[in-house]
């Protein structure tokens, strides 16, 4: 859906993007990075809202940056900052966006109502936008991004300002758009829970450089077969017993155990070890790498060291 290479952008002496080469496949991709990492600059560059110093690629099959105006017509963009016209009601704001996208007035209004229903904006659509709460403005921006039915959505911090129920509903809508309506979505966020909830791919920028690009499933899969075990009460006897069987056991901060070298399908052996050690297992499941820990590792590593970091089943043979 999106492929760019060699993208660089400076603001005076600040290098916001440095030789960024990346591909965003169909589906939902989480765009991660600390504050100031270049996420918003990359998004604005893709939309032609920030002129780059170098770089080329394609977006939705159209050459970028040459056809950036045509690209903008085919992308739905939810910006991080508020963007509304004072004095307009919610329905007027979305219908106006529909008309700007080329829909006739009557069809644009019909489409605006349809999308606002999807976004759970009820009677509030008839109120002026400046009276909206932060959460309502987020839903309004989402409706504006969707109203012209674009094949690609770029969402910059879409769950900011939403309460837990609203966040869950927003993520459900995003997942539905990808699963049912075959939309491709770039989700820029600092909320790792949102990425774990809906994304298939992860891209991470640090200091304007791509430090990580992989599927979420591969990142979370340990480099060696590992089981995660939660035990009721003292686990010392179980740990000692497992170590005598030649396996490495790591006690986590919450007291749970990670047992390396045990195939996730071979749960019977773990139950037997627990019985032998007189331990009671509360939960037994395949272990996953922590996305939070991966984020911290990559964000804090120097560029040369970051290149050596590897996750997933290929990490054990030295490939990233």
CATH class of 222-286: alpha beta
pLDDT tens for residues 245-275? Answer: 999 999 988 889 999 988 888 899 999 999 9
Helices first, then strands: H and E counts in the chain: 12, 14
Contact 196, 32 (CB under 8 A): no
**Pairing of β 226-232 and β 257-260:** antiparallel
**Residue 138: is its pLDDT beyond 60?**
yes
Buried b (16+ CB within 10 A) or exposed e, 2-30: bebeebbbeeeeebbbbebebebebbbbb
Question: How far is Cα 230 from Cα 282, in angstroms, rounded to an integer?
Answer: 5
| CATH code 3.40.50.300 region(s) in the chain | 2-219
- pLDDT for position 320: 38
CATH superfamily entry for domain 2-219: P-loop containing nucleotide triphosphate hydrolases (3.40.50.300)
pLDDT tens for residues 171-221? Answer: 999 999 999 999 999 999 989 999 999 999 999 999 999 999 999 989 988
Mean pLDDT across the chain: 91
| CATH code 3.30.70.600 region(s) in the chain | 222-286
Tell me the pTM: 0.83
Question: How far is Cα 291 from Cα 218, in angstroms, rounded to an integer?
Answer: 11
């Amino acid at each position: 859906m999106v492929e760019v290479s060699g993208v660089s952008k400076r603001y005076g002496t600040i290098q916001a993007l440095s030789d960024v080469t990346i591909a965003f496949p169909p589906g939902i991709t989480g765009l991660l990075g600390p504050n100031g990492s270049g996420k918003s600059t990359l998004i604005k560059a893709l939309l032609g809202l920030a002129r780059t110093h170098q770089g080329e690629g394609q977006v939705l099959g159209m050459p970028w940056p040459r056809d950036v105006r045509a690209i903008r017509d085919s992308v739905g963009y939810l910006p991080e900052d508020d963007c509304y016209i004072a004095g307009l009601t919610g329905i007027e704001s979305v219908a106006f966006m529909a008309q700007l996208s080329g829909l006739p007035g009557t069809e644009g209004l019909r489409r605006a109502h349809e999308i606002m229903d999807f976004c759970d904006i009820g009677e509030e659509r008839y109120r002026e936008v400046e009276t909206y709460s932060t959460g309502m403005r987020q839903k309004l921006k989402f409706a504006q991004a969707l109203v012209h039915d674009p094949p690609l959505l770029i969402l910059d911090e879409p769950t900011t300002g939403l309460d837990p129920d609203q966040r869950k509903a927003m993520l459900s809508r995003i997942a539905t758009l990808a699963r049912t309506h075959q939309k491709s979505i770039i989700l820029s966020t600092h909320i790792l829970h949102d990425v774990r909830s809906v994304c298939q791919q992860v891209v991470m920028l640090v200091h304007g450089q791509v430090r990580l690009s992989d599927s979420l499933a591969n990142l979370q899969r340990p480099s060696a077969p590992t089981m995660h075990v939660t035990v009721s009460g003292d686990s010392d006897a179980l740990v000692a017993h497992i170590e005598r069987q030649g396996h490495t056991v790591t006690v986590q901060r919450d007291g749970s155990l990670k047992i390396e070298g045990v195939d996730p399908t071979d749960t019977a052996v773990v139950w037997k070890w627990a019985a032998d050690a007189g331990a009671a297992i509360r939960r037994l499941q395949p272990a996953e790498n922590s996305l939070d820990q991966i984020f911290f590792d990559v964000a804090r590593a120097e560029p040369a060291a970051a290149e050596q970091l590897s996750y997933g089943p290929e990490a054990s043979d030295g490939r990233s």
